Structure formats: C-alpha cells, structure tokens
Structure 1
C-alpha cells in the first residue's frame, strides 16, 4: 500500500461489510462504510419489536468458525461473555423417546464414538448406519467428485429413515436452510467435516448470549471509527461508477470518491448496482439467478421463571399437522434478562411464512406444549413472528457462486453468497469480507 492510505468505500453494513471494514481499518486504510438501514448487522441484527428487542433470527456458531472467533477477539468481544459453548449435540425434549445425542468432552474421534454408544432414542441399525456414514465420509475426504442432493447422498450410504428424520434432515435445514431433496451434498459434507469430523473443540456449538448487534456489528463500528473511519447508517448507495483514478459512490444528493469499492450488500441488491456497469452484465445476471429460502423465528414469552431442560432442543416438525418448529432456544438460559422467552426456528419456511403470523405462533406454542408435555406452553403471554424472506440463498447442488474479484479494477464483492465451501453462515460472511478486504489492498487492486 502506498504511503497515502487507500480510501475504501464499503457498501453494506452486514457481517461481511463489517468484517471487511475491520480488516481494512486494521491495515491502515481509510474506510467509509455505507449502510442503508438505521442499524448495522444486515439480516443478522437485532430489531425493536413492540414488546422487546429481538434478534432477527436465532443463530448457532461452531467452534470451527475460526475466522469469526478471531474477528470477535480483534474488536474486543470476549467469547465467555458473548457466547455459550456447548458440546456437539442433537437432543429432543426428555420423555419424547426421540434422539438424545451428546458428544462428551473427549479427544476426537473418541468424543463421537462415545456419543454414539451412549445415544438414546436410536436403534442399533441407526447407530451402525451413522458409524458407516462418518467412516465413509472421512475416506472420501468429506467431498464428492460430482455433487448431488443430500437426500441422494443419504440413500447412497444406507442411512435409516429414523436417522434421516431425527438427525440428518434437521441438521441440513439448520445448516443450509434448504430441504434435503434440494440441498447440496458437498456443502453439507463440508459442514459435517467441521462438526462431526472435526476435533472436539471445533465441533462445539456456540449460542449467542447477547443480541446480535452487540455480538459484533457495534463493536466493529467502534473499531473502525477509532481508526479514523466513518460508519454512515441510513445512507443508501444509489449508484457506483468508475472514474479515471478510482470510483465514485452516490448516496442521495451526495457523491464520494474512493480508491476502491467493496460491495457487501445482499446478492440481489448488488445486482441492482452492477446492472448499470455494462462490463458486469454477466455477473449481474448470475446474481439475479439466485433463489432464496426464508427463515421464520417465533418468539413466545412466558413467565420469567420458565426454564426448558436444555438451552436448546430439537423439535420433530410435522407441517401437515401444524408442527412447524425445528429447534427451540431458551433465551433465559443465555441471557438472564430474557427469562421465559423462547425462540423457535422454522428453516426453509416458505409454507410457514404463508400463514398468518398469529396462526403460526399459536401452532408453534401448541407444538411446544405437546413436545414438552406442559399444557401451559400453549398460552404464552405474548408472541411475535419475525420472517426474513430472503434469509439465505437456496444451497442447491452444483451452484456456482461468484468470486470476490470482478472484471472491473477496484471493485470487489463480499457476502455469504460468494464462492466457498460453506453455506450462507456468519462464518462465510466473515471469511468473504476479510478476503475481499485483502484483495482490495493488494498492489494489483
């Protein structure tokens, strides 16, 4: 980088844009981050509902998310304060007779062997099928030469209907937000590689103890501003255009000059800006072709002393009979200030999102009452449904995702939709933002 610091315009204040801004600021660049919304965080943010501040979706991180954890440390967020670390698990409500699988704190792969031997709710044939699958996946180095659907993968490796129903299907929905019939086997295998196939600590599950804006975006803002950067919320970028010596960024009546632009908006918003650049017609068309899956989060507030048996539980969904929830999180076990608040996640939620919000919330409350054998759960004090209609791209087999670089010098993409072996996760967004920032500062940028 030259003696005069590069000025980089980062467009988009989600996790990819914030990660890029932090990386750029750490390397001495002058950063101006534009965010159209009034708050940072993108789709992973906290929102003000009528009753309380709520996360726009419940997230689980993995211990394998090395880039995200390193970034949190860089901006001063302590893991012990912000995240609850739990061993890898798939646990249904007690007395349900369904799966109870917990990996003990033993070195890998002993932790998986012990979990399999101790698992309840699985028959001998289920355990043998799971053991065969993980052994075969390791032998294949957790990848296929030719991608296929997760459903086809599971059939090919003789997974039992019970194991598919209780483990593989909910894991795929949670990780890829795409039903197993349409989900990419290779991307699913990459997730399993870093959970079932990883060292014990990397397979841990990390649940946010704090609202998502406090987990990272606001700390990123402070980090960027402390190093001379600007974070502009409520600043929608209307157009970008190459100049003789850099780029112009237009936001309303204002125009700013930058040496380079890092576009960290969702794919469909990025496509809208790229369509004005004839050299990037093919890239804009590629982004326009993405399909999306929604996620609904149903919040149910009960008495503050309500407590579930675990911080989170899997739920047996059955949409045909009104059971929509796939996982329930006891927010009070994560944050004492949210006692009695349950968050129920419905991934790949197109059908659920078509219901009236009160109808969906009532159905989910009834599902919890039956699953935990507590009739009182059918009557929450208040309920709220938050649906992100384009929460993630549909992670289908063979999907080609764009690189961070573009055909125009000084213009880069960042986001959880860019090329990588992970689905649309916070870790993918962080990796993409950091990689794009490094490209932006390279001598060839």
Structure 2
C-alpha cells in the first residue's frame, strides 16, 4: 500500500448524496478523505439552486421512516431528523371535491394502521377497497417479491386492481417512487418500495418531508463533518482523469495530479464511464454504465401572497396531460419553512412530455391545474413562478434492469450512487446505502482494523481520532 503506516488516503469524486455519505463514513473510520465536486455547491441532483435571487431546492423529496441508513447518517453528521423533517402518517390525499381520494393510515400498530386507513378512506368504492385489500394480502403472502419481473401495469392487472385505484393510488405512487411510468416501471422494484410503506411497521411507513433546504439537510453537515476530521472538500474541482501506478491512484483535478490509495467514484454513470475509459479491463463495466436511460423531473415554484396556504403540507393531484395538467403532487413550502410563506411547489415526475412546453407555458398550466383542483381561482395567478427541470433526475427503472455492483474489479476503485445494484429505485436512501457499501469495500481493501459502525447513533464512542 502507498500509505502503509498512515491513514488511508481516499479520493471521493462527486459531491452528491452518495459522495457526501461515502466521504463522511470514511472520515469517521479514520481515513484521510478528499471530496471533489465539480459544482460550487454540494448535493448533486438533490441540491439548492438560486432562482431570481432566492435559494430553493431543485426538487421536492419525501423520505420514509424505513430509511434507517439515511436517518442514522443525518444523526452522525449532527442533523436532528426530528427538527429537519416533518413526520406524517402514511397518506395519499387529494384536494376535496377534485375527484380524488383521501387515505390516511392512523398511528396504530401494523397492520391495523392499514386496515383502519382503508376502512375510513374516502373517494374509493367498495370494489376499490376490496382490490386494495386483496393486493396487500397477496403481496404479504408473496413476501413482496416477484420471481419474474414485469411492468407495474402488468402486475396491477394480474392483481385485479380496479381502474380507479390504479389511477388514484398506484400510478402516482409509482411515478413518485420510481420516476418511471407504470407501463414501463419495474414491478419488482415497486414492490420493494411498497414493502417498506404499505407493508411495514407503522413508524417505518411514516412519510418524512424535509423542512430544511436539501443542502442544509445533509451535504453541508457532511462536509463540515469531513473537514472536522482532517479531510478536505474541494468545490469547483471536477475530477478529469484517473490513472493507476505502483499500487496508487493518481487523480487529476483542476490541472493538479494527486496520489491516493483508493478512489470512490460517486459521479453519475455517464461521467464515471468517461473517467474509467482508459483503465484496463473496464469494457464491460463501461457498457453497463452507458446503457442507462434517464427520466426528468420538473418542479414548478409558484409564489402567492404570504397569507395563501393549503390545508395540508402536501397533496396529490390528478394529472391530465390532455388538459396540460401535468402535476402529480403539490407542496405548501410555507408549512415546512416559515420563510417560504405563500410558496407552492408542484412536482411533475417522468416529465419528458411536460418539458416540451416552455417554462412559462408549463408554469401557467400548473397554476391553472391548482386553481381547478382546489376550486380557488386565485391560484391561477401567482405573483412569481419558476420551473426547474432536472433532465436526468433518475435512471429509468425498467424491469430486469442490470445495475453495476459497487466494486469495479480494479483494486481500490469503487462506485457509489443510487444507480448501483439495489432492490430500491433511485432514492436518497439508495444513495446512502450504496455509499455505505462503497466505504466498506474501501476499508476492506485497505485492511484497516475498523468497521463502519452502526448508523443508529451519532458516534457510539467508536470514532477514531481525527486524521492529523
């Protein structure tokens, strides 16, 4: 090893959630970490952006109570989930009178919370409720697994789901979780998400909505954590080259070459494929990385007078592309952050067709959709609007998709990202889990007598001294 008697020197390329998580975990284990990020801010596809002089997230996220690795890592870097996240019971609620449904799972032990929520749900017929009960019962019997993958739409047909239930419940949940239309989305991955929501213990099925900006929620705290343990965070420093020589890794960034013992590639698949193209034995991996297809997500911010608010922190919406009504969920940012009073955020998942309109046209359509859904004409006329479209927000989560492992086959080089092999779709939890696996592989490679400790407590008394 290059650093036989010193702390393992690790470069982490990419400052998204996976990169920040890997850097924090490795720094906690005593490694000398350098985190490289091409942009001037951390967060990757879950970051803050400046819109007309105000800092807003580039998208809205909902976490689940089952996201144990993410919640544990937040505590590790000093973020209190109780303060940073609004915890709500599992729910799918449409504006009253909009033709939707109103489902809330009360705070009862599982599976009673689902049964009570089903019995009291509004907007569903008896046939809809029986279909939902049949689905959850059969899925539990199957242990939420499919031996042979298929599309979500095909699975729903096999489970005899009603057209209304598919429209009001399964379609928006599939779009929100997988960012892929049901007729193209993986039923196997969708079941894994449902296992940890509809089929989980009550607390695990809770929905957690960030109160803080995404950058403050984790990346900024992770960077401070890394630097507090002797590491370095380099913004505006894209990694442009990798080479291996004498058992070491040479990392090129901003014209400077630095030597490390190991490297975590936490860049998007297409960037990682470019970085490894000159490395021997990577043809198959590069082909796998290049094979991903992507789905966009558009988020429209609509600013109204400060007194304007919704009855709930977030609501589902009936999308209707034929009427240019593209939104699937709306968030009342003022209920999450008092500094955003009167600000609503409408989310359009799998937003390819919607993105064909101009930003102005899309914002106007979404404002009209809110006015119709809530029966409030004033919502059609915001005082300010802005649309943010993340063109490659997630990979298209299709059936039987081949996703690469964390280990590349090259000693000391691993991948981290929400696209790596997992039963989950591209979520923040998937990114953190991938980072944990990547960090574990790096530590095993370095033969360090340490393990990544449980993330359930901030340090557990097992954190080694900061790297000097």
Aligned to 2:230: 228
What runs of 5+ residues in structure 1 fail to find an aligned partner?
none
With the length of structure 2 as denominator, give the TM-score of the two structures: 0.94
SS, match of residue 278 in structure 1: coil
Shift of 1:95: 2.4
Aligned 8 A contact 2:8 2:446 in 1: no
Give per-residue Cα distances to partners, 1:320-361, cap 9 Å, x unaligned. 111110000000000000000000000000011111000000
Q: What is the total number of aligned residue pairs between the two structures?
A: 445
Aligned to 1:279: 281
Aligned to 2:302: 300
Structural mapping, 1:393-404, within 5 Å:
393-404=395-406
Residue 98 of structure 2: which of 96, 99, 104 is its match?
96
SS, match of residue 232 in structure 1: strand
Give per-residue Cα distances to partners, 1:237-279, cap 9 Å, x unaligned. 1110111121000012100000001000011111111112131
Q: Distance in 1 between matches of 2:324 and 2:244?
A: 52
Give per-residue Cα distances to partners, 1:44-74, cap 9 Å, x unaligned. 0000111411101000000000000000000
Aligned to 2:457: none
With the length of structure 1 as denominator, give the TM-score of the two structures: 0.99
Aligned to 1:82: 84
Give per-residue Cα distances to partners, 1:189-223, cap 9 Å, x unaligned. 00000000000000000000011000000000100
What runs of 5+ residues in structure 2 fail to find an aligned partner?
448-468
Query: Cα–Cα, structure 1 residues 305 and 250, in superposed 2: closer, same or farther, change >3 Å?
Result: same
Aligned 8 A contact 1:10 1:263 in 2: yes
Shift of 1:434: 1.3
Residue 340 of structure 1: which of 336, 339, 342 is its match?
342
Q: Distance in 1 between matches of 2:99 and 2:416?
A: 44
Q: Distance in 1 between matches of 2:88 and 2:307?
A: 22
Shift of 1:96: 2.3
SS, match of residue 422 in structure 2: coil
SS, match of residue 361 in structure 1: helix
Aligned 8 A contact 1:30 1:229 in 2: yes
SS, match of residue 350 in structure 1: coil
Runs of 4+, deviation exceeding 6 Å: none
Aligned to 2:47: 45
Q: Distance in 1 between matches of 2:403 and 2:212?
A: 32
Aligned 8 A contact 1:274 1:281 in 2: no
Shift of 1:97: 3.9
Residue 352 of structure 1: which of 354, 357, 374 is its match?
354
Query: Cα–Cα, structure 1 residues 51 and 376, in superposed 2: closer, same or farther, change >3 Å?
Result: farther
Shift of 1:443: 4.1
Shift of 1:444: 6.4
Aligned to 1:63: 65
Aligned to 2:261: 259
Give per-residue Cα distances to partners, 1:409-442, cap 9 Å, x unaligned. 1100000000000000000000001110111011
Q: Distance in 1 between matches of 2:75 and 2:426?
A: 22
